[in-house]
Amino acid sequence: MRFFPLGIAGHVDHGKTSLVKALTSIDTDRLPEEKRRGMSIDIGFAFLDFPEKNLRVEIIDLPGHERFVKNAICGLAPVWGLLLVVDVGEGVMPQTVEHLRLAKSFVLRELVLALTKIDRVDAQIVELAKEEALDMLASEGMEAFGVFPVSALKGEGLEKLKAGIGEYANKHIRDRDKHLFRFFVDSAFSVKGYGTVVRGSCVSGSVAEGDVLILEPLGRPCRVRRMQNHGVFVKEGRAGERLALNIPDLEPKEVERGYFLVKGIKASNRLIVKIEGQIPKGVSYLFLGMREVSFLHRHMHEDFYLLRLSEAVPAVRGDRGPVLSSSGKHVGSYEVVHPLPVRSSKMFIRENLSLLLEHPEEYLLLERATRGLSLEELFSFYGLKVQPPKYPKVGGKFYHPELLKGLSERLRSLLSMKGGAVPLSEALSKLKVSQDLLGLILEKSGDLKVVEGYLLDTKRARLEELEGYRQLMNLLSEGIREERELHPYREHLSLAVRRGKVYSLGEYLYVSKDMFEEYVKRLKGLGREFTIQQAKETLGLTRKYLIPLLEHMDRLGITRREGERRVFLR
């Protein structure tokens, strides 16, 4: 089944709750205070099924009184669509407009318009109310998907409204199943035999029995035992669905409205945002999901700000919501452009802002520099498992090529100052890099190598100062050696061959330059030419070692083979 969360908004006493009850047979006013006062105080929940569309519309009824505007924001946070209710007798009222502006901060631009209580007025008044409401929508930059005059009391127009809601949901349903799991908590309580039950809205991703989630902003891991959707046990919950999650790891008193349950999304107490409208001086407030969080801000550039939040929130790029003044007045809205900033330098952010907006992955790599960018951070940034970036990678982290180039230049400069050899620990400290990252730099620098705890420029370093190199050369001073004999010195051997201090004869055989020259000198003592047998007797070598040696002399142009003899060319 597909799920579509729909908010029901409008001025107090315009008939929202009565309309929901007429559509669904569910009374969303569940609190005794709401019954006594005859108005909604908190958000209420119901659902409307469309079996032919394989669709369930999850209804969230928003309180209409101005004193409960923050509860209205909580109700708007998880919805993907809006049903605006206007009493035809009263027309557009202050909270009608307020709810619309709050909805705009969550990027709701098209809505269903229900004109209620039509049984109390004549057709002309209904038409005037319709015109007024449509004018108001146009002035706020919003559109009506459809206009439905109804009477909850007499049932007039309800079927047409219900059909309109189904069509509207079909048009605006969001594909959020593939996103990382995020759940807005609106309540928690204890159930005998089960323990804590956390109730709220799944706004993205999916959750299954047995999943381990993180409760933010506490950072508490917890496991889901069972779950329900409107009183029915289900094995899996999906984006857009109202859920009750049985999580016995938690205590109800630990959980507050506005907390989050997440899987794979990291929390941060800093955000880079774009602001529309005003941003008050000093302490201000924003709603991320159902959570009201205070913040201080620094202006970065034009409409972009760095916010320092009073607590960490699991935001993702593209999150939107309202901004409130310290008095609780709605003054603007925000859009998250960077949910996990690690650099707060105004200069860095300004210089790279266009990169953040157009090529965010490159910005993240530059920002994280030698820390590197993990896939988990990238997925959390988007709230989605995106394709891995095509950048150099080591140790599970990605790095910017320009960073590697700059580090390589700094490394060469350091080696130049130190005569071609630097203790590895000193190199790591000076460059402030991990050993994994240093290895990635060395991969692209063929003449730099780590040997015996030293970082060497193999073209410049004094190999004689390395104990392993001295032992290697002592061994080779005794004659030709097989590679297996030299295995303990393989790194030193590679350096020695590169420096021309040792020759590879092929056949996994090696000889030092000095020993090779000694062999040549002794063979020259035989005259201008010699046979293999003469060479064997002179050098005391078996054919296993002698033939590769003579062939190497041929390759170097020292000798030339003529039948069974070899002739010196120089």
Summarize pLDDT for 421-451 with one digit per residue, the tens. 888 888 899 999 999 999 899 887 777 888 7
Distance of alpha carbon 177 from alpha carbon 168, whole angstroms: 19
Question: Span 402-416, mean pLDDT?
Answer: 90
Beta strand 393-394 with 397-398 is antiparallel
As a whole number of Å, the end-to-end CA separation of the chain is 88
pLDDT of residue 68: 59
pLDDT of residue 66: 54
Average pLDDT over residues 521-539: 93
424 Rama class: left (phi>0) / alpha (psi -120 to 50) / beta: alpha
**Whole-angstrom distance, CA of residue 201 vs CA of residue 221:** 19
Nearby residues of 408 by Cβ (< 8 Å), 6 or more positions away: 441, 444, 445
Tokens of 552: 């190497």
Question: Do you know the residue count of the chain?
Answer: 570
Q: What is the pLDDT of residue 172?
A: 96
Q: How many CB atoms lie within 10 A of CB 491?
A: 17
For residue 416, pLDDT beyond 80: yes
Beta pairing, strands 454-457 & 448-451:
antiparallel
Q: Is the pLDDT of residue 30 over 70?
A: no
Tell me the whole-structure pTM to 2 decimals: 0.81
Q: How confident is the model at residue 32 (pLDDT cuts 50, 70, 90)?
A: very low
Looking at residue 29, its pLDDT comes to 59
Q: Is the pLDDT of residue 28 over 80?
A: no
- At residue 358, the 3 state secondary structure works out as helix
With residue 432 as reference, give the H or E element that holds it.
Answer: none
Confidence of residue 67 (pLDDT cuts 50, 70, 90): low
pLDDT at 525 over 80: yes
Both tokens of 81, joined, read: 């669509």
Cβ-based neighbour number of residue 417 at 10 Å? 9
**Residue 64 predicted with pLDDT over 60:** no
Give Rg (Cα) of the chain: 37
CB 148 within 8 A of CB 8: no
pLDDT tens-digit series, residues 472-508? 999 999 999 999 999 988 878 887 887 889 999 988 9
Mean pLDDT of 206-222: 97
Distance CA 503, CA 514 (A): 10
CA torsion 354-357-358-361 (nearest 10°) is 110
DSSP state of 556: T
461 vs 356: CA distance, rounded Å: 43
419: pLDDT strictly greater than 90: no
| 470 confidence band (pLDDT: 50, 70, 90) | confident
Task: Tell me the C-alpha distance between 389 and 2, whole Å.
Answer: 32
pLDDT of residue 38: 43
Residue 116 scores a pLDDT above 50: yes
pLDDT in tens, 292-336: 999 999 999 999 999 999 999 999 999 999 999 988 899 999 999
- Gap between the Cα atoms of 412 and 404, Å rounded: 12
Nearest to 513 by CA among 491, 496, 531: 496
Q: What percent of the chain clears pLDDT 70, i.e. is strictly above it? A: 97
Q: Distances from the Cα of 439 to the Cαs of 394, 395, 424, 488, 495, in angstroms?
A: 8, 10, 11, 21, 17
Provide the token pair at 319: 């999150």
Other Cβ atoms closer than 10 A to 418? 17
pLDDT mean across residues, the chain: 91
Return the pLDDT at 37: 41
